[in-house]
Amino acid sequence: MTERFKQYLEAAFRKIRPTKAAMDYRKETLVKLEELAQDYRIKGMTDDEAIYDLCIASLGDFDKTLADFDLALTEVPKKNNLKRNLAAGIIGAVALVVALYLILSLTGAVSWGLSWLIFLGAVTAAVVAADVVLFLKAVKSDKFLVARLFNIATVVIVFVFLYLVIELTAHPRYAWMTFLAMVIAAIAIDIAVGFITKSKLTIPEIFVWLIVTSVLLYVMLGVSGAMPWHPGWLLPALTAIAAVACGAGMLLNMSKKAKKDKERLFKNAQTQVDEEYYTKW
Amino acid sequence: MKKKERITAELWDKMQYLFRNYYDRMVHAVLYYDKPVDVEILKTVLIATTEKVPVLHASFHDSVINPYWEVEDYSISDILSVVDTDSEHLESEIEEFITQSIPVTSNVQFKVRIFNEGSRSVFAMIVNHMCFDGGDFKYFLKRLSANYNAMLKGDAAVEIKTGTRSYDQVYTKLEGEDKETAKKLYKNISQVKDEHYFPLTPDREGDKSMINRCKMDAETFSLFRAVGKHYGVTINDLMLTVYMHSLYEFGGYPPTDTLTIPCMVDLRRHIEGGETAGGLTNHTGFMQCSVDGVGATLNDTLVKVLRSVRKSKHDKFMGLYSLPLLKLAYTIFPYAISETAIKIGYLNPLIGMSNIGVLKPEELTLGEAVPVDGFMTGAVKYKPYMQLALTTMNGEITMTIAIRGNEDDKVLVEKFFAILMRNVRTFISDNLKYLKI
């Protein structure tokens, strides 16, 4: 069988250029065919002719596969084009931002004291874009730790930018509250990622978020006078009590379930022992 | 007072020490000889060997920054004991001896006992897994035999390897880019989540260490091997197949569940000079075998097993994954922190398999005494962990499951062995028609 596979492959590979890569590919394909033949034999096939035909058929249109393989060796990898396009895009975007900054500042449309925010806005947008790319990569590789940390850093940068814009353009009394909102948003985004990645820590994180949010809301509403300090304190207190109660209830349920599962398994094993083992002579 | 000599604790010493949380850290061997062993010669060989390998008479000291071994004084009575017994009590006495655990703080890290029963002797030995693994245990036993036989002929020189115990010898066969790649294999392969476990009873007071054995007789093994040869598969593949197939049945796992079992790999395949290179130490990695459900027949399961193990067999870095990660953890953190970090990242497999391989009687003779039977097995696992260990000798396979449990667990393990052996016989009968006997 191996000899027949070799003959087939020798003939097929003569149709493409004799490169080192082609030789490696030929050897790999032989191993694949041999393994497939082994699988068919183990599964009960005894007709060598049928096994051979099935194995060769598994290669599909092998002449086309080989032609594509050969072509791939000479084509310029697309990755280089992508890198070139990316570099051109970045240079273009930077030029656009600089031009916008100069035009708006020189024409007096935006004062020099504010126009530098255009640069900060561009950097913030770039960080957000990098964050999205990193997250998509994390989804592909199923590794989220770095992406989650970067997410939080992105939220911080976005909120710092927002604070500067609000403070420098509108001078509101409570602009600093942006930083309190930043904490709420950072945890909320992490919870959203937790749901996507099915992280086991998401549920406890929700409880933490509820408590943190209620405390920060209490502070913000209290300071701004939108809610009296008393009985406003009930907001964080009741939220914390509810979160702890929910958490304790969930833990209790999980422990009960684990205990039940263990007991069931032990019972099953015992039954097997009693019925089969002891009565078998 | 003279300051005691210190030996650096190597990466695998620390890892095996960490494994104390999952098993008793002992490796075991029992060899049944057809004639009595000369205890006086054995004593001399053991002393000379122990002198040459300081880690065998050293105590291990846990430390926050970096643990170490401290070479200790000892006498041969700490290592060797001789017991006269009868056939009725022989097995229970062997079991009692081999299931003991040597504390890391002991002055010696291995113990040997000779059981004299009638006109034959049984050699039993236990050693701290932190000193060496199954691969070097086999080497140790072979050298013990060679040194014993040389001494019988009047040659007093005892030979045993005394080189480096460092983990990084596993890169010596690799060159250039491959070597660089191997040193960057940071992937944590222990992180394969498999929640299937071997059904044993919950922990009970009074649970004790036990080594459960089951033998595949020579005739069955010969047919089993012949079927394997017919299909071009190894005994390891076949055993993995019947093991996994039996686990689905015994454990009651849903037939479509993916089951992953790590299979121990001797990393000396990557070392220039193989088993004789370096010093006595651990060089064990593992390859994962994953099947996406049990096959309708054993042959179907075999195909699934092969599809999984081929990936490892084709991988030139088989078993080398995670080593750089461990090295990094032990390098950048003080020991206490690195142990905690590794403990968090390391998932000890619930079920495993270790094929220790062939023990050749001609390499283990002690004078005229020839081993007629014997086995080696790994550490005694704590529930819910378990491992099947296999030793081949004189055309028979001894299967062992070493666990800490009770009489009910023993019954369960024996029941599992019965299922496993039934599957071996089914596999043979299903495929016998293809053999030209």
What is the full per-residue pLDDT of chain B (437 aa) written as tens digits? 678 899 999 999 999 999 888 999 999 999 999 999 999 999 999 999 999 999 999 999 998 889 999 999 999 999 999 999 999 999 999 999 999 999 999 999 999 999 999 999 999 999 999 999 999 999 999 999 999 999 999 888 899 999 999 999 999 999 888 998 999 888 887 766 788 999 999 999 899 999 999 999 999 999 999 999 999 999 999 999 999 999 999 999 999 999 999 999 999 999 999 999 999 999 999 889 999 999 999 999 999 999 999 998 889 999 998 899 899 888 888 898 988 888 888 888 999 999 999 999 999 999 999 999 999 999 999 999 999 999 999 999 999 999 999 999 999 999 999 999 999 999 999 998 887 65
**How large is the average pLDDT for residues A224-251?**
90
CA distance A276 to chain B (A): 9
Which of B302, B415, B434 comes nearest A273 by C-beta? Answer: B415
> Quick one: tokens of B424?
């071996």
**A76-90, A205-219, B175-189, B263-277: range with lowest mean pLDDT:** A76-90
- Would you place residue A193 in the very low, low, confident or very high pLDDT band (cuts 50, 70, 90)? confident
What confidence score (pLDDT) does residue A260 get?
Answer: 85
CA distance B383 to chain A (A): 13
Measured between CB atoms, does B419 come within 8 Å of chain A? no
3-state class (DSSP) for residue B407:
helix
As beta bridge partners, residue B58 has: B71
Measured between CB atoms, does B27 come within 8 Å of chain A? no
- Would you place residue A254 in the very low, low, confident or very high pLDDT band (cuts 50, 70, 90)? confident
Are B411 and A46 in contact (CB < 8 Å)? no
3-state class (DSSP) for residue B415:
helix
3-state class (DSSP) for residue A192:
helix
The set of residues, in sequence order, having a beta carbon less than 8 Å from that of B18 and lying 6+ positions away, is B339, B342, B343, B346
Measured between CB atoms, does A95 come within 8 Å of chain B? no
Residues of B in contact with A38 (CB under 8 A): 231-233, 306
Measured between CB atoms, does B201 come within 8 Å of chain A? yes
> Quick one: tokens of B249?
């049945």
Measured between CB atoms, does B240 come within 8 Å of chain A? no
**How large is the average pLDDT for residues A198-217?**
88
Q: What ranges do the domains of chain A cover? A: 2-74, 200-281
What confidence score (pLDDT) does residue A149 get?
Answer: 86
The rounded distance, in Å, linking the Cα atoms of B228 and B147 is: 37
The set of residues, in sequence order, having a beta carbon less than 8 Å from that of B210 and lying 6+ positions away, is B95, B99, B380, B402, B403, B404, B405, B409, B410
As beta bridge partners, residue B366 has: B369
Phi first, then psi: what are they for B204, rounded to 5°? -130, 155
Cite the DSSP H helix spans in chain A. 2-13, 20-42, 48-57, 62-74, 78-106, 112-115, 117-141, 145-170, 177-197, 202-224, 229-232, 234-272
Measured between CB atoms, does B415 come within 8 Å of chain A? yes
Q: What ranges do the domains of chain B cover? A: 6-434
3-state class (DSSP) for residue B213:
strand
3-state class (DSSP) for residue A173:
coil
Task: For chains A and B, count residue pairs whose Cβ atoms are closer than 8 Å.
Answer: 45
> Quick one: tokens of B39?
């205890």
Measured between CB atoms, does A257 come within 8 Å of chain B? no
The answer to whether the complex's ipTM is over 0.85 is no
What confidence score (pLDDT) does residue A199 get?
Answer: 80
Please name the helix (run of DSSP H) or strand (run of DSSP E) that holds residue B45, with its range, or none.
Answer: helix B39-52
Task: Choose among B42, B32, B275: nearest CA to B147.
Answer: B42
Which chain A residues in 14-73 lie under 8 Å from chain B, judged by CB atoms? Answer: 31, 35, 38-39, 41-44, 46
CA distance B199 to chain A (A): 7
The rounded distance, in Å, linking the Cα atoms of A116 and A123 is: 11
The rounded distance, in Å, linking the Cα atoms of B393 and B401 is: 17
CA distance A58 to chain B (A): 16
**A125-129, A226-230, B94-98, B189-193: range with lowest mean pLDDT:** B189-193
Measured between CB atoms, does A74 come within 8 Å of chain B? no
Asked if B61 and B68 count as a contact pair (C-beta separation under 8 A), the reply is yes
Residues of B in contact with A277 (CB under 8 A): 411, 414-415, 418
**CATH no. for B6-434:** 3.30.559.30
**A88-92, A239-243, B63-67, B432-436: range with lowest mean pLDDT:** B432-436
CA dihedral B358, B364, B369, B375 (to 10 degrees): -40
CA distance A33 to chain B (A): 13
Are B303 and A277 in contact (CB < 8 Å)? no
Residues of A in contact with B434 (CB under 8 A): 46
Residues of B in contact with A41 (CB under 8 A): 231
3-state class (DSSP) for residue B262:
strand
CA triplet B405, B406, B410: central angle to 5 degrees?
Answer: 90
> How many CA atoms does the CB half-sphere of A76 hold within 13 Å?
5
What confidence score (pLDDT) does residue A274 get?
Answer: 58
Which of A38, A268, A277 comes nearest B231 by C-beta? Answer: A38
Are B306 and A35 in contact (CB < 8 Å)? yes
The rounded distance, in Å, linking the Cα atoms of B66 and B239 is: 40
Residues of B in contact with A265 (CB under 8 A): 199, 252
Predicted TM-score (pTM) of the model is 0.73
Which chain B residues in 249-308 lie under 8 Å from chain A, judged by CB atoms? Answer: 252, 299-300, 302-303, 306-307
Which of B201, B232, B414 comes nearest A38 by C-beta? Answer: B232
The rounded distance, in Å, linking the Cα atoms of B238 and B424 is: 9
As beta bridge partners, residue B214 has: B399
- Would you place residue A134 in the very low, low, confident or very high pLDDT band (cuts 50, 70, 90)? confident
Task: Choose among B401, B399, B426, B397: nearest CA to B412.
Answer: B401
Q: Token match 């029992």: residue?
A: B30
3-state class (DSSP) for residue B338:
helix
3-state class (DSSP) for residue B129:
coil
> Quick one: tokens of A276?
């089969």
What confidence score (pLDDT) does residue B425 get?
Answer: 96
Are A43 and B299 in contact (CB < 8 Å)? yes
3-state secondary structure B58-111: EEEECCCCCCEEEECCCCHHHHEEEEEECHHHHHHHHHHHHCCCCCCCCCCCEE
CA distance B299 to chain A (A): 6
Phi first, then psi: what are they for B36, rounded to 5°? -70, 150
pLDDT at A170 over 90: no
